[in-house]
Amino acid sequence: MHTLAYGTQEKSASLSPVQFTRQPVRAGEVEIEITHCGVCHSDLHQARDDWSNTVYPCVPGHEIIGKVTRVGDGVSKFSEGETVGVGCMVNSCQACEACRRGEEQYCSGPKSCTLTYNGPKIPDGTNTYGGYATGITVREEFVLNIPDAISPAEAAPILCAGVTTYSPMKHWNLQKGQSLGVAGIGGLGHMAVQIGKALGASVTALTTSADKSDLARELGADTVIVMSDETALKDGARSLDMLIDTIPYAHDITPYIKLMKPGGVIALVGNFIEMPAFVPADLVFHRLTLAGSLIGGITDTAEVLELCAEHGIRPQIELIDMDGINEAFKRMEGEDVRFRHVIDMSSLKSRRDELTPEASEIAAPNRGDVTG
């Protein structure tokens, strides 16, 4: 499958047209023509090598919606023409303890799970390419049905932002009537507020931007605390059972710790970079858990899609053309997005003939194999 995409070949470069050939569908695989792809803050971090692990060329995108165009032998769950989704993974060993319990993101097989993009595998080291592209081929087990109630553009961010915030709520057993804090009201946080409300929690939005207060309440937040408001922080002390921290950069965790009830859980889902030093006394004296959570497995992703369909939970999106991606990255860096860009991939397909001659040819992507 000849594929046109946008990617970058070094961390200082803007995203630009590239092309490559995906190999034919094999048994158990599903070929998908991509119609929409969400723009995640992780895409920006990965393209810029902020985590010092990027393999170039890098084609981002792990919030993928599209139409099935071909299925391989043995595929039984999907057929041509269906609208489907692909999230942050395209394969795993399917045999280890984590995979058997539906947490493929923690696969402990010989090569771990294969990420949708930037998923190089030893020994060959070739990369995987993501959803800023016209098409993708994925193992059947990592393709998701999209409920009819959710539009393709709105479904895209649920595959990352939705499941990344739902998964820790499920794992640490958020109960109806408990108090949930959401730190950072951006792409992940605005989904966490809505999901927490749907699960029956009382939700407190925690933001450094006072101008997001009304937006947070519109999303369903019962309370909003602006983190510069010392009185509000004092009044909110020891009020939260659980906190989902979506902030994607290093930040002082101390003010958030002081908001937690004894026995509470703080789940970090946004910050992969560093944690500034803090005094752990409150963790000890109040038996708090400071934990992390990585995306979610396929079961959790299917569950959150159904939850969003049932409760009318939708991401707030701004649809963009593919050639607007570099401007979208700049706006994301400046926190000028309410709350998620989604690429209309028809804008790339419509320019196929125009772009193909000038698009850089890059190596064929890794197939996502995890065995052998």
Judge whether 177 and 199 are in contact, CB under 8 Å.
no
Q: Terminus-to-terminus CA distance in the chain, angstroms?
A: 25
Tell me the per-residue pLDDT of 150-173, one tens digit each, with 9 for 90 and over: 999 999 999 999 999 999 999 999
Tell me the per-residue pLDDT of 286-295, one tens digit each, with 9 for 90 and over: 999 999 999 9
Instruction: Output DSSP code: residue 117.
Output: S
Q: Could you tell me the pTM of the whole model?
A: 0.94
pLDDT at position 125 is: 62
Tell me the per-residue pLDDT of 182-201, one tens digit each, with 9 for 90 and over: 999 999 999 999 999 999 99
Residue range 18-46: mean pLDDT, rounded? 93
Structure tokens at 106: 């923690």
Confidence of residue 127 (pLDDT cuts 50, 70, 90): confident
Q: How far is CA 297 from the centre of its chain?
A: 12
Residue 262: asked if its preceding bond is cis (omega within 30°), the reply is: no
Judge whether 84 and 145 are in contact, CB under 8 Å.
yes
Longest dimension (CA), the chain: 64
Q: Where are the domains of the chain?
A: 2-150+316-361, 161-292
Report DSSP letters for 144-170, one per residue.
EE--TTS-HHHHHHIIIIIHHHHHHHH
Instruction: Output DSSP code: residue 133.
Output: B
- 161-292: CATH number: 3.40.50.720
What single-letter amino acid sits at 360? S
What single-letter amino acid sits at 264? G
Q: What's 2-150+316-361's CATH class?
A: alpha beta
Structure tokens at 94: 């399917």
User: Left, alpha or beta for 28 (phi > 0: left; psi -120 to 50: alpha)?
Assistant: left
Q: Where are the beta strands (DSSP E) in 24-153?
A: 29-39, 64-71, 83-86, 89-91, 114-115, 135-139, 144-145
Share of the chain above pLDDT 70, in %: 97
Distinct helix (H) and strand (E) counts, the chain: 13, 18
User: Left, alpha or beta for 112 (phi > 0: left; psi -120 to 50: alpha)?
Assistant: left
Judge whether 61 and 26 are in contact, CB under 8 Å.
no
